[in-house]
Structure 1
Amino acid sequence: MYYSYFGLRQAPFKITPDTRLFFPGGNRGAVLEALVYAIATGEGMVKVVGEVGSGKTMLCRMLERELPENAEIVYLANPSLSPDNILHAIAFELHLPVAGSEDRLKVMHALQEYLVRKHAENRRIVAFVEEAQSMPLETLEEIRLLSNLETQDEKLLQIVLFGQPELDESLMNPHIRQLKERITYSFYLHPFSIAEVRDYLSSRLRASGYKGMGVFTRAAIRSLTRYSKGLLRRINILADKSLLAAYAGGEIKVRTRHVRRAARDTEFVTKPGAAVLAMALSFCLALAAIGWFAWQRFIPVSALVEDTRLFKDVPLSGAIGRGLEGADSPKQP
């Protein structure tokens, strides 16, 4: 592979979250600090929204690492949980002695007893809900009810919702407006700019052992930003393939042609041929629509000559005139 060729001791652009390679730029570090603060101060519910591949999972792993030792984490990674199943899922993660056949009331009672006991021990229970945008509305409403578990001064269960922008659309539903009102902090993970992509690439390479000058040219960084749309997962995929292309060509710099080659080998990038074909198809459909519209409005000459009285006072000439005269004249034997 290209690792030793570029003086790297590990893969710099793996798509699996590696907290050792966390990049605090692009507002990620500020969001992480705000999340730690919100949980440390006992805020009940927090929301983090970002596009697919914007770094939500990495942020989730970093949050777990940065929280104080008295925090106990519950992961809810299955978005298809029903309202009853989510209670059992939390009980299972907390190792509560609750059978799968127990009804909702008993599970809620056992969970509340556990949370009260942990609160007395000065411990915090924090639930990380991933892919929250795919959860049924009824399950999101159940999460709101869980946020009602509290003492006189603090929430017993703190909840962090991680989701795609569709989560905000779900929260606009009037049936769960009370859940939206319970969210005290909301954060959005924006795509990276060209400058942030440049710093991100450099940070990852340095953390992976690279000690030379910049590997990616400025033009290559602009091209990579355009193809990736500033999304971290796409940046990682394209950067990895671009480094491989430069290595295969025996070059020590990643240039625009290497990024283009990587983009051609990547599913999420629209292929130029496909774009041209789509444009050509759209053009043909537009022409067909115009032709159909014109045909609908066209009145053939035969319709006009059905009653020749329309033309008795109109001088006619040319082929149309001769045609009409022929139509009025009796056929010669």
Structure 2
Amino acid sequence: MYYEHFGLHAPPFKITPDIHLFYAGSKRGLVLEALIYAIKTGEGIVKVVGEVGSGKTMLCRMLETKLPPHIDVVYLANPHISPEMVLHAIAFEMRLAVSTDDNRLHVMHALHAALLEKHANHRQVVVFIEEAQAMPLDTLEEIRLLTNLETNRDKLLQMVLFGQPELDINLAKSHVRQLKERITHNFHLEPFTKQDIENYLYFRMQAVGYRGLPVFDKPAIKTLHLISQGLIRRVNILADKALLIAFMDNTHFVHKKHILHAAQDSHFTIPYTCHLPAKLLIFFLFALFMAIILSPQNQWLNTQLQHLLIENQTKTIHLPVTNPQPINNTFIQQRLAATQTWLQQVNSQHYTIQLLQINADKLEAVARFLYLPEVQALQQPLFIIKTTLGWILTYGEFTDEAQASAQLKTLPERLQRNKPFIRRMENLKPHE
């Protein structure tokens, strides 16, 4: 709809990976070159880790197209393969004459023979595994055994794992130590910085025909960075919607208000600072500083600042005003203590529902969420978990995924806006 308005011949911010729009900045190009080198030199197992939406799938597609013709790629898109069937899946992708009735020994023999033949013909085979954090560890261990197949000089099979940070947690378990020790290269896809996002937006726009000054102004880019947390998928979603909103606003530039509207439409969490006008933010910081220096117990100032924040949020994003009463630190501390006790005792195979994630060291934001009437009406206990990125608020403990799923469906509409989802406790518990 907005393509002609901005002089574009294709969508610049598609969610599905398009290798023609691969952005080599933010070290993505360097990681790609390093992956190509590692595979060409015959390294056994390589690992690429990044948060959801950090560009792992795009990198995987680019890697497949950039590898030399003598390297064959076996692509396992479904991580939920049992250890008993993973060899069959690889053999099927290599078009070997095996059936599901063949036993493991027969399939292993067929794979070994095929890999030896490819090596004799100066060819390499590499297995790409996406969403590797979701693959059973026993399945990964079964594939690792294939990487033991080698000649006097070369590996017959290589493996590249693409996964979320939970993959590192899984690989830290003692019973897969051999698998972890076989990993020769580890790459981590960092979130985009504000400058990365600015360069990325302009690159994508130019790649599909835009010619002109940057469309996204500085405040828009700053807001986009705060809301997206530097994750490419979120950047794409917000940028695409913001362009459409700017088109409907009959302007050729994207401003902060367009990003905020796009974030609201996508139900993304919007940091409080995004709603504060510059003058109000300066006043808030100055008043906070003076309160600390002059009077830590100044209740009047605390009340005035809270009223300013609530009034401004209401005008800007039209969300229900939360309870303006002072935060009950005792209640928060009680929940934190209860959470620590719970994490030490909870079964790792149980489940919980993640209601909210605040990617900043701002416990107050979690506290304000707790004051929502819909949250206070919940029957199951709430837990506040500290992570390296900030705070996670979870709801209840369930013995199986079906029980958690049933409870998830009963959550009120207000809480459903944050896209709550089910998490296994082994991915949330602290690991030694």
Q: Which residue of 1 aligns with 2:170?
A: 170
Query: Would the alpha carbon gap of residues 148 and 249 (structure 1) be closer, same or farther in structure 2, given more than 3 Å must change?
Result: same
Q: Which residue of 2 aligns with 1:10?
A: 10
Query: How many residues end up aligned between the 2 structures?
Result: 289
Please give the alpha-carbon distance, in whole angstroms, between the structure 2 residues aligned to 1:150 and 1:280: 68
Give RMSD over aligned pairs: 2.1
For 1:131-150, what aligned pairs fall within 5 Å after superposition? Answer: 131-150=131-150
Please give the alpha-carbon distance, in whole angstroms, between the structure 1 residues aligned to 2:325 and 2:26: 38
Q: CA deviation at 1:141?
A: 1.1
DSSP-derived class of the 2:73 partner: strand
Please give the alpha-carbon distance, in whole angstroms, between the structure 1 residues aligned to 2:78 and 2:320: 36
Q: CA deviation at 1:135?
A: 1.1
Please give the alpha-carbon distance, in whole angstroms, between the structure 2 residues aligned to 1:285 and 1:192: 37
DSSP-derived class of the 1:102 partner: coil
The letter of the residue matching 1:215 is V
Please give the alpha-carbon distance, in whole angstroms, between the structure 1 residues aligned to 2:322 and 2:228: 22
Please give the alpha-carbon distance, in whole angstroms, between the structure 1 residues aligned to 2:129 and 2:257: 41
Query: Would the alpha carbon gap of residues 240 and 285 (structure 1) be closer, same or farther in structure 2, given more than 3 Å must change?
Result: farther
The letter of the residue matching 2:250 is G
The letter of the residue matching 1:186 is N
Query: Would the alpha carbon gap of residues 277 and 138 (structure 1) be closer, same or farther in structure 2, given more than 3 Å must change?
Result: farther
Q: CA deviation at 1:270?
A: 5.0
Q: Which residue of 1 aligns with 2:288?
A: none
1:30-50, Cα deviation, whole Å (9 max, x unpaired): 000000000010111100000
2:77 is the counterpart of 1:77: yes
Q: Which residue of 1 aligns with 2:344?
A: none
Please give the alpha-carbon distance, in whole angstroms, between the structure 1 residues aligned to 2:324 and 2:180: 42
Q: Which residue of 2 aligns with 1:321?
A: none
Q: CA deviation at 1:57?
A: 0.3
The letter of the residue matching 2:153 is D
Please give the alpha-carbon distance, in whole angstroms, between the structure 1 residues aligned to 2:70 and 2:93: 16
The letter of the residue matching 2:236 is N
Query: Would the alpha carbon gap of residues 250 and 31 (structure 1) be closer, same or farther in structure 2, given more than 3 Å must change?
Result: same
Please give the alpha-carbon distance, in whole angstroms, between the structure 1 residues aligned to 2:320 and 2:94: 51
DSSP-derived class of the 1:250 partner: coil
Q: CA deviation at 1:267?
A: 3.0
Of residues 321, 331, 340 in structure 2, which corresponds to 1:286?
331
Q: CA deviation at 1:275?
A: 9.3
Q: Which residue of 1 aligns with 2:235?
A: 235
Q: Which residue of 1 aligns with 2:34?
A: 34
Q: Which residue of 2 aligns with 1:19?
A: 19
Please give the alpha-carbon distance, in whole angstroms, between the structure 2 residues aligned to 1:27 and 1:279: 44
Please give the alpha-carbon distance, in whole angstroms, between the structure 2 residues aligned to 1:278 and 1:92: 59
The structure whose RCO (Cα within 8 Å, separation 6+) is larger is 1
Please give the alpha-carbon distance, in whole angstroms, between the structure 2 residues aligned to 1:62 and 1:9: 22
Query: Would the alpha carbon gap of residues 217 and 177 (structure 1) be closer, same or farther in structure 2, given more than 3 Å must change?
Result: same
Q: Which residue of 2 aligns with 1:263?
A: 263
DSSP-derived class of the 2:4 partner: coil
Please identify, of 72-81 and 49-58, the stretch whose mean Cα deviation from structure 2 is larger: 72-81
Please give the alpha-carbon distance, in whole angstroms, between the structure 2 residues aligned to 1:52 and 1:246: 28
Please give the alpha-carbon distance, in whole angstroms, between the structure 1 residues aligned to 2:214 and 2:170: 43
Q: Which residue of 2 aligns with 1:204?
A: 204
Q: CA deviation at 1:286?
A: 3.0
For 1:39-188, what aligned pairs fall within 5 Å after superposition? Answer: 39-188=39-188
Q: Which residue of 2 aligns with 1:328?
A: none
1:76-130, Cα deviation, whole Å (9 max, x unpaired): 1111111111101001101100011111111000000000000000011110001
1:271-318, Cα deviation, whole Å (9 max, x unpaired): 97779649979749839x8xxxxxxxxxxxxxxxxxxxxxxxxxxxxx
What stretches of structure 1 of length at least 5 have no aligned partner? 290-333
Query: Would the alpha carbon gap of residues 48 and 281 (structure 1) be closer, same or farther in structure 2, given more than 3 Å must change?
Result: farther
How does the TM-score come out when normalised to structure 2? 0.64
DSSP-derived class of the 1:17 partner: coil
DSSP-derived class of the 2:29 partner: helix
DSSP-derived class of the 1:175 partner: helix
DSSP-derived class of the 2:253 partner: coil
DSSP-derived class of the 1:265 partner: helix
The letter of the residue matching 2:85 is N
Please give the alpha-carbon distance, in whole angstroms, between the structure 1 residues aligned to 2:61 and 2:24: 13
DSSP-derived class of the 1:5 partner: helix
Identity %: 56
1:175-232, Cα deviation, whole Å (9 max, x unpaired): 0011010000000000000000000000000001000101000110000011100000
Please identify, of 278-287 and 200-209, the stretch whose mean Cα deviation from structure 2 is larger: 278-287
Please give the alpha-carbon distance, in whole angstroms, between the structure 2 residues aligned to 1:203 and 1:278: 44
Q: Which has the larger radius of gyration?
A: 1
